[in-house]
Amino acid sequence: MVFKNVKLSAYLCIIFLTVSCSDEAIEVDRPEGNVLIDLGDSLTAGAGGNGTTMSSVTSDLLGNQWLVKNMGVGGENTLTIGARQGGIPMYIKESIIIPASGFYVQIPTGLFSTYDDSSVFPLIQGSGGINPCYVDNIKCELIRLNGDYYIGRTDFVDSEHVTQPNTHINTSLSKQTRGITTIFMGQNGDYSSPIDFLNQIDLFVDHKGDENVIIITSHINGTPDVVEPIREKYGEKHIDLKEYMSTQAIYDAIDYGLLPDNGTYPTAEDLNGMNNGYTPESLISSGVHFNAIGYELLGRLRYEKGIELGYW
């Protein structure tokens, strides 16, 4: 299906301007390598934090000499995040005809992962660095409407372009490899085993081209069998969030003045959760997501890890 829609074009323009302005509101003179990219799902995005995120907290601590980009998108599994980051590219199964500028063509069967040929589903809760994307070095825009994916080129040309089957879509984020990357994912699947999870992380790091990374395992499913292969491979570059949240976090919250030091905290419920290896309820918004205090602690923890590693 090919279409040209004025209302859609205006809508996309608004989104583009919003995303462009949110990436870096103020131009400052900073060293070229001082970029921190936070990659992940809704925990990276900061769901439940009322505006406080790991990224915002670390950004405040680093100051304006660093650009911190929050590339967390809610609901995404590891393969969809990998499609955005570029370590596990997505592809279009069929040959399609990309029309001249201003027209979008439907991608008939959706998008697939080069990792295992399963479907990936970007753009459901956010873009996270997808656009502009590139197909055969042609600058394009990928959109999702009513559950279907469409793509159109953004330059002005007179001729259409025919892709080969299994053509990759390379995202804008995939070209952003300098600086430091935090990888915080896994809560939503999709990996079959701890070793499979590690293999996917390795592909992210390989694509980046260096090991200037911090890898955070989840406070929910960061069980010992998941954590151990990552800790063995990446050592001090790894943060075991489950261990931290279930042992130290509530006391740091009191020390930092985020919770009152009057004997009220930790609560009985907090202690019961910690004794069972869970994050204290006082740091949780709902389900797996932190509240503002939880994200404040996470942002500070990651900042301290960066100091330890000599990243900043």
84, 203 in Cβ contact below 8 A? no
Q: In which element (H, E) is residue 36 found? A: strand 35-40
Q: pLDDT tens track of the chain, all 312 residues? A: 655 543 344 344 434 433 333 344 444 667 878 999 999 999 999 999 999 999 999 999 999 999 999 999 999 999 999 999 999 999 999 999 999 987 999 999 999 999 999 999 999 999 999 999 999 999 999 999 999 999 999 998 889 999 999 999 999 999 999 999 999 999 999 999 999 999 999 999 999 999 999 999 999 999 999 999 999 999 999 999 999 999 999 999 999 999 999 999 999 999 999 999 999 999 999 889 999 999 999 999 999 999 999 999
Contacts of 80 (CB under 8 A, 6+ apart): 73, 113, 120, 121, 122
Domains of the chain: 1-30+90-169 (no CATH), 33-89+176-312 (3.40.50.1110)
273: its two tokens: 């959760």
The CA distance from 161 to 163, in Å, is 6
By the 10 Å C-beta count (0-12 exposed, 13-18 middle, 19+ buried), 297 is classed as buried
In angstroms, the CA 51 to CA 49 distance is 5
Could you tell me the CA-to-CA distances from 96 to 47, 118, 142, 239, 310 in Å, in that order?
Answer: 37, 19, 14, 43, 47
